[in-house]
Amino acid sequence: MTKTIIEIRGLRKDYHIGEVTVHALRGIDMKIEAGEFVAVMGASGSGKSTMLNILGCLDIPTKGDYLLDGVDISTLSKDELARLRNQKLGFVFQAYNLLPRTTALENVELPLFYDPKVKSKERMERAIKALDAVGLTDRMHHMPNQLSGGQQQRVAIARSLVNDPVMILADEPTGNLDTRTSFEIMELFQDLNERGRTIVYVTHEPDIARFATRNVVFRDGLIQRENMVTDRTFAKEVLKTLPVEIIEEFDS
């Protein structure tokens, strides 16, 4: 008995650039159940970024329905969308987007600042818990520039977890990382997914897409193909086969 988190019907998105109208999405139907781990793929210009923006409630569709956790987002105002993002979604970006000169802990706390219900004591406790979940308890008071790329992305994942979202949206989360670190991040995602977290991520690397349970491939604003991943890669096992190349310099 699974719960449907995302239900999309006949979704279209048009952009007007001067006189020209660009049809970024041309009728998408999609469903994502709770606990799924979905990789969205596609070449650039295929509409996958637009899709992710709409999934993240950063953009609204021109036409069609989008129900997120039972809420029809077309009825919501800008401020209500912001609240929805604050309470139901977690974002992970390719470039981490951590605040510079701000400790890992404070970075993770950030979403909770925008939730009026969370008091400062609870805010810190939850941030520490989230950092613990990504295995960075001992890096809590480090600044982003004192962390490696992988660690920075972990902090960003902790930040996306801190508000206990129904879904994590990741935009090319491994795009800036080397292979080994990428696998480590995917290991973390798989780990979170096993514990029930719904995750949707965008990638253009087929290798990375195979960590998911389901792949959705976009092409020219339409879903070209959708399939369950049969030969799924498990990061834990792959990492065992990879030689340990470098001891991370920040470990000392």
Under the rule (CB under 8 A), what is the footprint of another protein?
Answer: 53, 56, 58-59, 78-79, 82-83, 85-87, 91, 93, 95, 97, 99-102, 106, 110-111, 113-116, 120, 159, 163
Q: How far is residue 205's CA from residue 40's CA, in Å, rounded to a whole number? A: 10
Specify the residue, 156 or 235, whose C-beta has the smaller distance to another protein.
Answer: 156
Output the smallest distance, CB 149 to another protein, in A. 17
Closest distance between another protein and the C-beta of residue 96, in Å?
Answer: 10
If the CB atoms of residues 41 and 54 are measured against another protein, the closer one turns out to be 54
| 182 to 29, 77, 136, 239, 240: CA distances (angstroms) | 30, 37, 17, 10, 14
Instruction: List, as one string, the DSSP characters of 18-82.
Output: TTEEEEEEEEEEEEEETT-EEEEEE-TTSSHHHHHHHHTTSS--SEEEEEETTEEGGG--HHHHH
Residue type, 138: D
Closest to another protein by CB, 86 vs 179, is 86
Choose between 157 and 235: whose C-beta lies nearer to another protein: 157
CB of 135 to another protein, least distance (A): 22
Tokens of 232: 């799924």
Q: How far is the CB of 213 from another protein (least distance, A)?
A: 25
- For residues 130 and 132, what is the distance between their CA atoms, to the nearest angstrom? 5
CB of residue 124 vs another protein: minimum separation in angstroms? 12
State the first-to-last Cα distance of the chain, in angstroms, to the nearest integer.
47
Kindly tell me which of 120 and 137 has the beta carbon lying closer to another protein.
Answer: 120
